[in-house]
Amino acid sequence: MARLTCDSSLRRNCLFRALGDQLEGHSRNHLRHRQETVDYMIKRREDFEPFVEDDVPFEKHVTNLAKPGTFAGNDAIVAFARNNQLNVVIHQPNAPLWQIRGTEKNSARELHIAYRYGEHYDSVRRINDDSEAPAYLQMEMLCKNDSNKMKEVKPQQGEFEADEIEGETEDAVQKVCNASGCSDTDLVRHILEVEDYSVESAIFAIIQVNEVERIIGAEEQCDPQSEVQELCSRTLLEENGNGSRISGNQSLHRGEIGNNGQARNKNQASRSLKVSKKQKKEQQRLEKKKRQEERHRQKVLAGKNNCADSSRREMDSASHITLVKTMEALNI
């Protein structure tokens, strides 16, 4: 579908309106595009002057071209493409595509315009695309026998596609198991699915899981609370035993009993204080370690989210591209 009206008031600005619509999604900046194109031609005079008509001086040519309403042709398209480092593809009825290359980059953006009615340019878009978003069209070169090849290959794809995907998945599972040392293949498959079948991300995720499990196991084995309870129980048993012996021994003097009781109370208080300090210190150490692990985990998740967002943006951009299939194109 071609967009832009054929109204006579717009016809002489049609080229820069069409290019602006392709580039930005609208044609309101056509005067700026015209002026930037003229400025580029003046700076690269040696590239464009040989193609100006002999009876028109270059200065007059670019002066006229800078005026709104002046028809612009191939030299302006070449200057626009080079100035913006992109390629411009020209569609004509019953003719091969013309591609004006403004850069040698393979991933360069393409602007597609239609040349018809003898002197009019339109912006080429998908059917029913009346949005104000830039047009993302890209040529796809086909061989003349591609249609026959597709017919021959298509039935075969259905037969082997499932086996090929399953084989690739098993290969990825084996790689993750070998690298991470994890033997739980169900867990590996699940993590691969979550990580969009990225072997590197899955290995890293499994290593993180193993590390967390190791830390939790170590904490359970070295629980300071259980140590304190065991120590307190041992202290109470010793005191009960000593108390029985003291009450059963009638030959001890009351003063000795009082002194021994005070000494035991002091020792008990001292031990309790030491245990309390040790417990508090151990608790602080564990809390600090957990905070560090949480910060590390958040940093890892943030990195993954950034990578995922970046990949998603690239996929979204790619999903907007419409392929323009052609058998041949002439380069300028």
Look-up: residue for tokens 């978003």?
133
Radius of gyration of the chain, Cα coordinates, nearest whole angstrom: 40
Q: How far is CA 68 from CA 9, 25, 111, 247, 280, in A?
A: 11, 20, 22, 116, 81
**Residue 108 to residue 136: CA distance in whole angstroms:** 11
Mean pLDDT of 33-46: 97
Look-up: residue for tokens 């411009």?
88
Q: How far is CA 119 from CA 13, 55, 68, in A?
A: 11, 21, 16
Classify residue 157 by burial, with Cβ atoms within 10 Å: 0-12, 13-18, 19+. Answer: exposed
Q: In the prediction, which pLDDT does 179 show?
A: 82
Please answer whether residues 88 and 100 qualify as being in contact, where contact means their C-beta atoms are separated by less than 8 angstroms: yes
Q: Is 328 left (phi over 0), alpha (psi -120 to 50) or beta?
A: beta
CA angle 59, 64, 69 (to 5 degrees): 165
Name the pLDDT band for 267 (thresholds 50, 70, 90): low
Which positions ≥6 away from 74 have C-beta within 8 Å?
100, 332
Name the pLDDT band for 37 (thresholds 50, 70, 90): very high
Task: Identify which has the larger pLDDT, 55 or 217.
Answer: 55
Please say if the pLDDT value at position 237 is more than 70: no
Please answer whether residues 131 and 123 qualify as being in contact, where contact means their C-beta atoms are separated by less than 8 angstroms: no
Q: In the prediction, which pLDDT does 201 show?
A: 80
| Four-residue CA torsion sign, 278, 280, 283, 284 | negative
Count of CB atoms situated within 10 Å of the CB of 42: 15
Mean pLDDT of 56-77: 95
Q: In the prediction, which pLDDT does 48 show?
A: 96
**Residue 17 to residue 29: CA distance in whole angstroms:** 8
Q: In the prediction, which pLDDT does 98 show?
A: 93
Q: How far is CA 134 from CA 11, 30, 267, 317, in A?
A: 21, 14, 83, 11
**Residue 85 to residue 87: CA distance in whole angstroms:** 7
Name the pLDDT band for 68 (thresholds 50, 70, 90): very high
3-class state of residue 19 by DSSP: helix
Mean pLDDT of 60-80: 95
Q: In the prediction, which pLDDT does 5 show?
A: 45
Mean pLDDT of 301-322: 57
pLDDT digits (tens, 9 = 90+) for 156-209: 445 455 666 777 888 888 888 888 888 888 888 888 888 778 888 878 777 877
Percentage with pLDDT > 90 across the chain: 30
Look-up: residue for tokens 């007059």?
60
Name the pLDDT band for 247 (thresholds 50, 70, 90): very low
Q: In the prediction, which pLDDT does 143 show?
A: 66
Question: What type of residue is 145?
Answer: N
Please answer whether residues 64 and 298 qualify as being in contact, where contact means their C-beta atoms are separated by less than 8 angstroms: no
**Strands 2-3, 110-116: pairing kind:** unpaired
pLDDT digits (tens, 9 = 90+) for 109-153: 999 999 988 789 999 998 888 888 998 899 887 765 554 544 444
Q: In the prediction, which pLDDT does 100 show?
A: 95
Classify residue 203 by burial, with Cβ atoms within 10 Å: 0-12, 13-18, 19+. Answer: buried
Q: In the prediction, which pLDDT does 320 show?
A: 67
- Please tell me which of 16-30, 93-107, 144-158, 209-223 the model is most confident about, judged by mean pLDDT: 16-30
Mean confidence (pLDDT) of the chain: 76
pTM recorded for the entire structure: 0.48
Task: Identify which has the larger pLDDT, 156 or 246.
Answer: 156
